[in-house]
Structure 1
Amino acid sequence: MSAIDSPAAGFWSYTHRDNDIEGGRIQRLALKIANEFEVITAEELGVFLDKNDVKWGHEWRERIDNALTSATFFMPVITPRFFKSEECRREVLMFSGHAASLGLEELLLPILYIDVPSIRSGESSDEVVSLISKRQYEDWTKLRLEDEDGPVYRKAVHRLAVRLVEILDRASKVALPQVAETDAVDSDEEPGTLELMAEAEAALPRWGTVMAAFASTIKEIGEMTRSAASEMERSDARGGGFAGRLRLTRQLAEAMRGPVDHLGELGLQYSAELITIDPAILGIIRQVESEGSTESDSVRDFFVTIRDFAKQGRVNSVSFREFMESVDSISGLSKAMRPLTRKMQGAVQKILDGQSILDEWDRRIDEVQGMEG
């Protein structure tokens, strides 16, 4: 098909457990769509299914780094288990940021395979769920129950393959956005590289403040938990039994409510701002790469700041993961604790998701600087 300037490829993201439970139907669906695409266009649609395959990772990096996203689909297969996979979440955030920086959001094409109510309602504090719900996803919740060789299923495969062709045709006509080479003075002009770097630099202290408050709140919750554990030991020694433990657990849940709500607010604030500015940062890196201007003082300082922040985030992530593990241990103490533990886990997951964005900036900067080293 002439509208497709480079070989089209589809990267499928799903949990292996879902595919196993489905008897391999998810992988077969990908291959059926690729075959139908080829029948329609007389061109192959490269299908990348196994993320453990070296070729998957190599092609993924090549296409993202070289702005070949205009011929690259990312197709997450959405199930409740999908959102519990850090790898799947990271892939959605990474592709979404790169696609948005190129004006090619349509190439993120989710398939709703098992119903997730928050996807349909569009109401969720989970940033990955929110990203998916805003896309024009393909609803496969009923089709997955159809006979794979039956007419209903085959027509649905054909319809999806046609949609891929149409999306690629539109994507091939999108002019890739460029960061202006000069600083904008007039309000009608697009911001230049320096304006965008200044905006990002101004955001970094805010993110740092949020991270410090997040760590402080986690410490506060940890101290509450340890204090309650000591109280339980003393209660046991006095013969308080399970009734005494239950009373103390309920007191702990009540005391934790405020800090846990604060933790949730901090996680939401942090992830929302990172996701918003992600396309701009990736655009800056791409612009610097194309201009070969990594040696300018402003660019060098900006890159150092970003990379230092990413490094510190990785250090923090270790303790946050340990906190998540400790939260698991208290979730079963009482039903009063369950809503709180879910909220804490959700808040920490937002920070970990945000770290995947920082790590992608760090990786791209490392590649750009390496090209000129």
Structure 2
Amino acid sequence: MIKNPIGFLSYVRSDDEHDDGRLTEFRRRLSGEVVAQTGERFDIFQDRTHIAWGQSWEERIHDCVDAGIFLICIITPGFFKSEMCRSEIERFALREKLIGRRDLILPVYYIHCPVLSDESLCRNDPVAQLISERNYVDWRALRFDSLKSPRSKKMFAKLAGDIRSALETRFPAEGFGPVAGTILPS
């Protein structure tokens, strides 16, 4: 089991189940491509794989959100309805703000979301607003392609290159963890 992941996958389990584990495979392939491009280990936390039997799932998720450098959000309509996904992105956005970065939340637009295409809906939803302010990777056209297709592999290579570039950007001297004296919501 990974202790301190570099990435954290924020997604809705039922979306992964509906697509026959494609989001789990997406995580594996992205992690592998980053390793191929950097030569360094790149663990991405996923709840269904990295929470031990008997472990407090909510505590483990909070610990890993707080430990990760990147939050990889799989954007679907269910993402916006999931209290846990909303909590993860809000918690991570606060940490990102504390260190003065705005490039560590990595949205992957997976299934069309009306809240992102309707300006009035988006404006009234803080999480949708946060996502809409970020450059996202549009995976909607790739959703039904094999993750081994040349088109998918090229996209994984691009994403891994972007992650590699973000890793090369220096972090504050305190590191990425919570800033001393700051209490993040539980």
The bucket for the TM-score relative to the shorter chain is: 0.7 to 0.9
Aligned partner of 1:53 among 26, 51, 54: 51
Please show how residues 1-373 of structure 1 align to structure 2 within 5 Å: 9-50=6-47, 53-54=51-52, 57-58=59-60, 60-61=62-63, 64=66, 72-120=69-117, 123=120, 124=122, 125-170=124-169, 173-175=170-172, 286-288=179-181, 360-361=184-185, 363=186
- Deviation, structure 1 residue 360: 3.7
Please tell me whether the aligned partners of residues 33 and 161 of structure 1 are also in contact (alpha carbons under 8 angstroms).
yes
3-state SS of the aligned residue for 1:110?
Answer: strand
More strand by share: 2
- Deviation, structure 1 residue 114: 0.5
What TM-score do the two structures reach when normalised by structure 2? 0.81
CA distance in 1, matches of 2:108, 2:36: 21
Compared CA separation, residues 88 and 8, structure 1 to 2 (3 A): closer
Indicate the structure (1 or 2) with the bigger Cα radius of gyration. Answer: 1
Compared CA separation, residues 168 and 120, structure 1 to 2 (3 A): farther
CA distance in 1, matches of 2:105, 2:79: 15
Compared CA separation, residues 122 and 175, structure 1 to 2 (3 A): farther
CA distance in 2, matches of 1:62, 1:127: 23
Please tell me whether the aligned partners of residues 102 and 176 of structure 1 are also in contact (alpha carbons under 8 angstroms).
no
CA distance in 2, matches of 1:89, 1:110: 13
Residues 250-270 of structure 1 show CA distances to partners (whole Å, capped at 9, x for unaligned) of xxxxxxxxxxxxxxxxxxxxx
CA distance in 1, matches of 2:65, 2:112: 31
Count of aligned pairs: 174
- Deviation, structure 1 residue 12: 0.3
Please tell me whether the aligned partners of residues 5 and 64 of structure 2 are also in contact (alpha carbons under 8 angstroms).
no
CA distance in 2, matches of 1:12, 1:63: 9
What TM-score do the two structures reach when normalised by structure 1? 0.42
> Counterpart amino acid of 2:181?
V
The list of structure 1 runs, each at least 4 consecutive aligned residues, that deviate by more than 6 angstroms after superposition, is none
> Counterpart amino acid of 1:163?
D
- Deviation, structure 1 residue 21: 0.7
More helix by share: 1
RMSD between aligned alpha carbons? 2.8
CA distance in 2, matches of 1:156, 1:30: 13
CA distance in 1, matches of 2:161, 2:5: 14
> Counterpart amino acid of 1:112?
Y
Task: Indicate the structure whose relative CO is greater, using CA pairs within 8 Å and at least 6 residues apart.
Answer: 2
- Deviation, structure 1 residue 168: 1.3
Match of 1:279 in 2: none
Compared CA separation, residues 63 and 133, structure 1 to 2 (3 A): closer
3-state SS of the aligned residue for 2:43?
Answer: strand
3-state SS of the aligned residue for 1:142?
Answer: helix
